[in-house]
Amino acid sequence: MAEAVTELPIVANARGLPAPGGAPWLADLRGRGLDAFELPGRKTEAWKYTRIDALMKKTAFVPPPLIDEPASSDIPCHLALGAEGHRLVLVNGRFSPELSDLDALPRSVTVQSLASALESDPQAIAPHLGNLQPLEGYPFAALNTGLMGDGLIIRIKDGALVETPLHVISVAHAPGEAPVAFHPRLLVMVGKGAVATLLESHVGVDGGETLSNGVTEISIGADAVFHHYKVQNESLKATHLAAAQVVVGAKAVYEAFALSFGARLSRHDIRVCLDGEGAEARVNGAYAADTGQHMDTSSYIDHALPHGTSAQTYKGVVDGSGRGVFQGRINVARAAQGTSGNQLHKALLLSNKAEVDAKPELTIFADDVQCSHGATCGQLDDDHMFFLRARGLTEDEARGLLIEGFLDDVIDLVSAPAVQASMKDMVHAWLIDRSGRKEAA
Amino acid sequence: MALIEIKDLHASVDGKEILKGVSLTINPGEMHALMGPNGTGKSTLSNVIAGRAGYEVTSGDVLLEGRSILDMEPNERSNAGVFLAFQYPVEIPGVATSTFLKAAINAKRKFAGQKEIDAMEFLKLVKARAKELNVRDDMLKRPVNVGFSGGEKKRAEILQMALLEPKFCILDETDSGLDIDALKVVSDGVNALRSADRSFLVITHYQRLLSYIVPDFVHVFAGGRIVRSGGKELAMELEENGYAEYVDAA
Ligand SMILES: Nc1ncnc2c1ncn2[C@@H]1O[C@H](COP(=O)(O)OP(=O)(O)O)[C@@H](O)[C@H]1O
Ligand SMILES: [Mg+2]
């Protein structure tokens, strides 16, 4: 198996490159990452609904060329979240100081590119990098660990009230013939009692095939409130793999929302550990997949300590021959008495070729818990349709309004008004694109 | 010309005949009340007129201003001027009431070859009508009927009616579940819409509503058809004697 993996183009083509920062601990970490990487296949339970092995074997991914970056005007900003934020731009995983906007950052926030940190003071990040992300069970996070070269390190000081969100815009860009793969790494440390918001927009510049294989590690100190909103709007030639590892301290709140429209194949892995008493996680999302798209959300909420609360609601619209996957695991440790953990996945199928697989999994070792999970999968409601049509809407108009409402309903859980509004605009834009596609077909 | 003409209408659901020869002519400006026991087909009649799927019209016809509407899609009927205020208004999570109202107004405008309503005009219009019906601004922001009380749902239906200005309005048990204050608001709203060219079919179980919305004609509906017609005094008689004799007859 190990041999086969090193022969994969994505690994073989990356290997000869000089990696920035040669500290022994880093070489060791990268080595362990590559050693742990196994291409998930038919027998890999966690990936049984999302098959990626054929793509990885047949596509000759290369590391991004050191070309001139796209001009600021070439970045499809309309595909990114429209909310105000300090722009932090990654092009193919590399931090671009020119395209970013670090000047207005408040003093309570420090942002550094991973590459420069590894060069200037690698020892300072040694205790944090890879601290949260397990290598076992997360093959692509392991690959990221093996091949990572750049990304961002974001530190938010204790007690900081950061009003303007930090906005990471990750641009996937394959200007030449060769399919490009990159492995961005984000490390976010939120201090005790801090309040901050991180936005992530993943967009693609039109061009060739890309693979974004990101890992985000977030630690949230006690009593902090951290909002994390992500939009994945890459091109239909893109593959988007992302793993987020979040540790939430006592009485801290983590609120996340992930919205996906893009990529032909995407996998959003999120694992949240409630690692302090009374920690809270609100982890929600929505996706819209059409023909030629496969969207996987796999979440794992780990209640490690007492009186934690987790609430998850995901909604997906699947059209044409698109495919949606939701795997939601909640684990309640023996110590985690007084836990409340709820999870819901709702899918709306718009065609009879559309398909959704949902797999909830509850493992509970404490006895004083309130947990629930639910999954529904259905079509548009006939009574809703008739009501709207009886008010004069055509069939298409009524369907459009109901599909939009289905997604807007879960986007209402986003507590930042500007982000909520921007996400709803994106749903609206998706529907307009969709009716364009239907007319063209 | 009659505004609406229902001619010996027979309709079934799942092969079971529910409407068994309904005939009714309504002239412009008239207010008709349809009263009768539960489960006899009153809502079925309103659904068939509005064009809900699942009902098979086996014979007869429904004409609006002399044209059959039975082959028309529900939205075409709405655009032609038919409005049904639902007995059980549906809740639609995620669709803001104001968004829905705007879509409905624009659908009608598009049909009439007019351009879309502009945002300011829409706001002004909706706020004015909503105020008359005691529909609070926050209800307009909330999703359609979600979290509305029974009375709020019925007022929202009348608001839609006021905004779409239909020719023929069917009110299917709009009074059920309303307290006396809400009943007055709803009745005032309906009365304000009465005009020489607009007609109503008010379906109700109780005479109570008809002391607020005074009908020109009252029909007793039982066993899938109209079994007796009269003036508004018929409603009083029904209130006193109940429907027993009609249920037995049907
Ligand atoms: N969609 C439907 N499917 C099956 N049965 C129906 C449907 N609609 C109405 N019915 C049946 O038709 C009969 C009349 O119902 P309805 O028209 O609701 O009566 P009313 O409004 O007078 O109380 C009832 O027996 C009801 O069960
Ligand atoms: Mg009824």
Closest by Cβ to B90, choosing from A387, A393, A409 = A387
Amino acid at A122: P
| Set of chain A residues whose Cβ sits within 8 Å of the Cβ of B73 | 389, 394-395
- In eight-state DSSP terms, residue B198 is B
| Set of chain A residues whose Cβ sits within 8 Å of the Cβ of B99 | 401
> Cβ separation of A395 and B75 shorter than 8 Å?
yes
Tell me if A274 sits within 8 A of A247, measured CB to CB: no
B81 in contact with A, Cβ within 8 Å: no
Instruction: Identify the sign of the CA torsion A133, A136, A140, A144.
Output: positive
CA gap A366, B154 in Å, rounded: 47
Q: Which of B10, B12, B13 to mutate to test the pocket of ligand 1 (most atoms within 8 A of CB)?
A: B13
Domains of chain B and CATH, by start = 4-249 (3.40.50.300)
Cα separations in angstroms, B141 against A231, A410, A415, B98, B148: 25, 16, 16, 6, 12
A375 in contact with B, Cβ within 8 Å: no
pLDDT of residue A407: 98
Q: Which atom of ligand 1 is nearest to the CA of B55?
A: 1
- CA distance, residue B81 to nearest chain A CA (Å): 10
The torsion angles phi and psi of B171, rounded to 5 degrees, stand at -110, 105
Cα separations in angstroms, A51 against A133, A168, A212, A233, A410: 22, 28, 16, 21, 28
B104 in contact with A, Cβ within 8 Å: yes
| Full DSSP string of A267-279 | EEEEEEEE-STT-
Ligand 2 centroid – CA B44 distance (Å): 7
Cα atoms in the 13 Å half-sphere on the side-chain side of A301: 33
User: Tens-digit pLDDT profile for chain B (250 aa)?
Assistant: 899 999 999 999 999 999 999 999 999 999 999 999 999 999 999 999 999 999 999 999 999 999 999 999 999 999 999 999 999 999 999 999 999 999 999 999 999 999 999 999 999 999 999 998 889 999 999 999 999 999 899 999 999 999 999 999 999 999 988 889 889 999 999 999 999 999 999 999 888 899 999 999 999 999 999 999 999 999 888 888 888 888 765 5
**Does ligand 1 have an atom closer than 6 angstroms to the CB of B242?**
no
> Cβ separation of B93 and A405 shorter than 8 Å?
yes
Amino acid at B153: K
pLDDT of residue A2: 45
Q: Which numbered ligand comes closest to the C-alpha of B45?
A: 1
| Set of chain B residues whose Cβ sits within 8 Å of the Cβ of A392 | 75, 78-79, 104, 107-108, 111, 164
> Cβ separation of B104 and A392 shorter than 8 Å?
yes
CA gap A176, B192 in Å, rounded: 69
pTM over the 0.90 mark: yes
pLDDT of residue A16: 60
CA gap A87, A91 in Å, rounded: 12
pLDDT of residue B239: 84
With CA atoms as reference, the chain A residue closest to B109 would be A392
> Cβ separation of B108 and A390 shorter than 8 Å?
no
- CA distance, residue B215 to nearest chain A CA (Å): 25
The secondary structure of A166-217, three-state, reads EEEEEEECCCCCCCEEECCEEEEEECCCCEEEEEEEEEECCCCCEEEEEEEE
For residue A377, list its beta bridge partners: A347
Continuous H helices in chain B: 42-50, 74-80, 97-111, 119-132, 137-141, 150-164, 180-193, 233-241, 244-249
CA gap B85, A387 in Å, rounded: 10
Amino acid at A80: A
**What is the C-alpha end-to-end distance of chain B, expressed in Å?**
32
Tell me if A185 sits within 8 A of A151, measured CB to CB: yes
Q: Which of A380, A382, A385, A388 to mutate to test the interface with B (most CBs of B within 10 A)?
A: A388
Q: Which of B14, B17, B44 to mutate to test the pocket of ligand 1 (most atoms within 8 A of CB)?
A: B44
Q: A1 is written with which tokens? A: 């198996």
Contacts of B214 by beta carbon, 8 Å cutoff, 6+ apart: B31, B232
| Set of chain A residues whose Cβ sits within 8 Å of the Cβ of B147 | none
| Full DSSP string of B114-151 | PPPPPHHHHHHHHHHHHHHTT--HHHHHSEETTT--HH
* A234 SS3 class: coil
Ligand 2 centroid – CA A428 distance (Å): 36
Ligand 2 centroid – CA B204 distance (Å): 9
* A126 SS3 class: coil
Instruction: Identify the sign of the CA torsion B226, B235, B26, B55.
Output: negative
| Set of chain B residues whose Cβ sits within 8 Å of the Cβ of A402 | 92, 95
**Does ligand 1 have an atom closer than 6 angstroms to the CB of B39?**
yes
Amino acid at B172: D
A409 in contact with B, Cβ within 8 Å: yes
CA gap A295, A261 in Å, rounded: 9
A368 in contact with B, Cβ within 8 Å: no
Would you call B205 exposed, middle or buried from its count of C-beta atoms within 10 A (0-12, 13-18, 19+)?
A: middle
Tell me if B6 sits within 8 A of B82, measured CB to CB: no
B27 in contact with A, Cβ within 8 Å: no
- Residue with CA closest to ligand 1 atom 16: B41
**Does ligand 1 have an atom closer than 6 angstroms to the CB of B46?**
no
Ligand 2 centroid – CA B188 distance (Å): 23
pLDDT of residue A167: 98
CA geometry: angle at B61 spanning A383 and B36, to 5°? 65
Q: Which of B92, B142, B170 to mutate to test the interface with A (most CBs of A within 10 A)?
A: B92
pLDDT of residue A1: 44
pLDDT of residue B250: 54
* Pick from A229, A246, A280, A262: nearest CA to A84: A229
User: Tens-digit pLDDT profile for chain A (441 aa)?
Assistant: 445 777 888 988 887 665 555 788 998 999 999 999 999 998 999 999 999 999 999 999 999 987 767 788 888 988 999 989 999 999 999 999 999 999 999 999 999 999 999 988 889 999 999 999 999 999 999 999 999 999 999 999 999 999 999 999 999 999 888 999 999 999 999 999 999 999 999 999 988 899 999 999 999 999 999 999 999 999 999 999 999 999 999 999 999 999 999 999 999 999 999 999 999 999 999 999 999 999 999 999 999 999 999 999 999 999 999 999 999 999 999 999 999 999 999 999 999 999 999 999 999 999 999 999 999 999 999 999 999 999 999 999 999 999 999 999 999 999 999 999 999 999 999 999 988 888 887
**Does ligand 1 have an atom closer than 6 angstroms to the CB of B40?**
yes
For residue A355, list its beta bridge partners: A323
Amino acid at A313: T
CA geometry: angle at A316 spanning A380 and A243, to 5°? 175
CA gap B77, B64 in Å, rounded: 9
> Cβ separation of A402 and B95 shorter than 8 Å?
yes
> Cβ separation of B75 and A394 shorter than 8 Å?
yes
Q: A233 is written with which tokens? A: 């709007």
**What is the Rg, in whole angstroms, of the alpha carbon atoms belonging to chain A?**
21
This model of the complex carries an ipTM of: 0.97
- Residue with CA closest to ligand 1 atom 4: B13
Write down how long chain A is.
441
B75 in contact with A, Cβ within 8 Å: yes
